[in-house]
Copies of this chain bind each other. A is one copy, B any other.
């Protein structure tokens, strides 16, 4: 193809910009004494062309609904991203040099502490799956023309989550999504599985329904043509496979092993900069998006939560489905996702009523959580559900979601041994521990349908990552529909002036505690029952008050392993309170301590030692 003078000038400009991005990546990482300059240098040409011509982004208004999204799935290339911010005039060189320093928003890996960063990356294989959520919103919900650009590393192509993303993007025909894979051949400790075998990646991507473009990632014309082609593609996502050199442009770094995640020392820096043509101070105008208006999500209507009659038998998972549907009616911004078990979690009740706001994520829990995070980036209020046990599959995404400051709601059904015959593989027994240990999380475990409904409503307004644990079995409705349940609260279910012990329970064990209460009443013994439905934050004031009223005798019963669950939440809260010295508190902690098998729910509750009779026995022993 003939190249005109204008094109030559443009290419020269792109080259200069790319070299600046390389120099700045080196400078800031050398200044920091750590970081990943070589992984940045391989992608500098790709990003120089992107930001000069194709990315449509208003740095003065990151909330502009027309803005493209740019996600560095290879988050360790943060020096490149931050150097782009400098080149776009968004940060100063002085700020760039604060890279990785204490207090700087330019952290080792990008986080939304920076206004132009949508989500935290740095755990590989997450940026692309999250981008699916953003692209789903653009194509199906907002119907806005923004594109989602994702810079991926080649090492992260080994993560199964990347193939979940390829699969879902293909399935959902996300033609607003363009992945750019920086195939620099070298992983952290040597060559990747495929090295520079671009065809290998190409076959895989095609098999998952993607349009594929293979290029030399240092040939600026090829890059330009690839983007031009990519933005024309309809009906399928595009991946640009770019053959690149790690450390490109510096003789002692380029395509050399042993340079992953290492800055060059201060003495070598001038030589490297010289090889790259010296320092530059180019500022470019990143194209702004055409003005668009964000579509309305409708006025909020009054929320009409389902109401259940006291004494009826209703599974809390069913109440989740009902409440989610009610939320869907009241609020246009509520969306839902499920991992192909919506007829078990009952999210299908939402899905059937609001199919346009429901995304079937099939059995791909990582992608489900990632898509929820991506939908959250676009200010939707996502609820994602599967069995509590299977949320363990997505733990890295949930953990990273906290760093992303994501506002997402998770529902894990089929908690504990009380699911019965399906056996331990299907039992959530570590989910409370897992979810409590997420920064800023909320952990809710209702025992009753009316309580569940109110908590689902509260989750919609809750920031951070919130988790609702539901039960498979039908359980009695014990609260009237006009009782209030707030995050951070608890309910004293039974109390009298002569209670001999406090029983703290949640979910299924509340019902066991009530049965124990009735059993003990026959012996003339009264107990106080605290329904600690808000496991995090926990209502420590009520716990203290109850303990003080019951001589410090405490029974905790939970359908969960003993580690990290309700029991430890209670102990920790008491210890942290500073209000009690734990004086004279005697504790019996009933939890699942042996590996369960199959059986009827009640058989398994009995076998685990968390049923009514065990609660009653624990009270008897404590009050001896």
List the interface of chain A (C-beta within 8 A of B).
Answer: 32-35, 75, 100-105, 107-109, 111, 113, 120-125, 155-156, 158-164, 167, 171, 187-189, 192-193, 200, 203-204, 206-208, 340-344, 348, 362-367, 389-390, 392-393, 395-396, 399-400, 402-403, 420-426, 429-430, 433-434, 436-440, 536, 552, 561-565, 567-569, 571-572, 575-576, 581-587, 589, 595, 597-600, 603-604, 607
Contact = CB atoms under 8 A, between A and B. Distances in A.
14 contacts: A34-B420, A100-B599, A103-B597, A123-B389, A123-B425, A160-B164, A163-B163, A188-B344, A189-B340, A393-B395, A433-B563, A434-B434, A562-B576, A564-B564
B100 A598 contact: yes
Q: Which residue of A108, A342, A429, A576 has the most chain B CB atoms within 10 A of its CB atom?
A: A108
B362 A192 contact: yes
Given A363-B124, A433-B564, A187 B395 contact: no
A585 B587 CA distance: 14
A403 B424 contact: yes
Contact of A567 (B155, B344, B429, B572): B572
A444 to B, nearest CB: 15
B587 A584 contact: no
B158 A160 contact: no
A340 B392 contact: no
Contact of A399 (B162, B392, B575): B392
A425 B562 CA distance: 28
A422 B122 CA distance: 9
Contact of A160 (B160, B204, B536, B584): B160
A392 B402 contact: no
A390 B575 contact: no
Nearest 4 CB-CB pairings of A with B = A160-B160, A122-B425, A102-B599, A564-B564
B572 A362 contact: no
A364 B582 CA distance: 45
Contacts of A101: 598-599
A437 to B, nearest CB: 4
A122 B576 CA distance: 39
Residue in A366, A561, A597 whose Cβ sees the most chain B Cβ within 10 Å = A597
A171 B193 contact: yes
With most chain B CB atoms within 10 A of its CB, the pick from A34, A187, A396 is: A396
A363 B438 contact: no
Contacts of A159: 160, 164, 363-364, 393
Contacts of A206: 203, 207
B340 A561 contact: no
B392 A597 contact: no
Greatest chain B CB density within 10 A among A341, A437, A565 is at: A437
A392 B403 contact: no
Nearest to A556: B575
Given A204-B208, A399-B430, A433-B437, 13 more contacts: A32-B421, A101-B598, A103-B597, A111-B597, A155-B363, A187-B363, A188-B344, A403-B595, A437-B565, A563-B568, A564-B564, A567-B575, A582-B587
A108 B572 contact: no
Contacts of A423: 100, 107-109, 111, 122
Contact of A393 (B200, B396, B568): B396
A76 to B, nearest CB: 8
B188 A343 contact: yes
A108 B122 CA distance: 39
A568 B569 CA distance: 8
Contact of A422 (B34, B125, B160): B34
Given A160-B164, A568-B571, A340 B155 contact: yes
A288 B112 CA distance: 60
B439 A104 contact: no
Contacts of A568: 563-564, 568, 571-572
Nearest to A600: B102
Contacts of A104: 597-598
A32 B600 CA distance: 10
Contact of A390 (B102, B396, B567): B396
Contacts of A393: 123, 159, 395-396
Contacts of A187: 340, 362-363
Nearest to A387: B123
B113 A597 contact: yes
Contacts of A395: 392-393, 395-396, 430, 434
A392 B562 CA distance: 20
Given A159-B164, A163-B160, A595-B403, A75 B425 contact: yes
A75 B364 CA distance: 17
Given A399-B392, A421-B108, A572 B562 contact: yes
Nearest to A126: B425
A12 B213 CA distance: 52
A586 B597 contact: no
A34 B563 CA distance: 31
A158 B583 CA distance: 53
Given A102-B598, A160-B159, A204-B208, A563 B437 contact: yes
A429 to B, nearest CB: 8
Contact of A155 (B362, B403, B420, B536): B362
A563 B571 contact: no
Nearest to A571: B571
Contacts of A120: 424-425
A159 B162 CA distance: 11
A124 B120 CA distance: 28
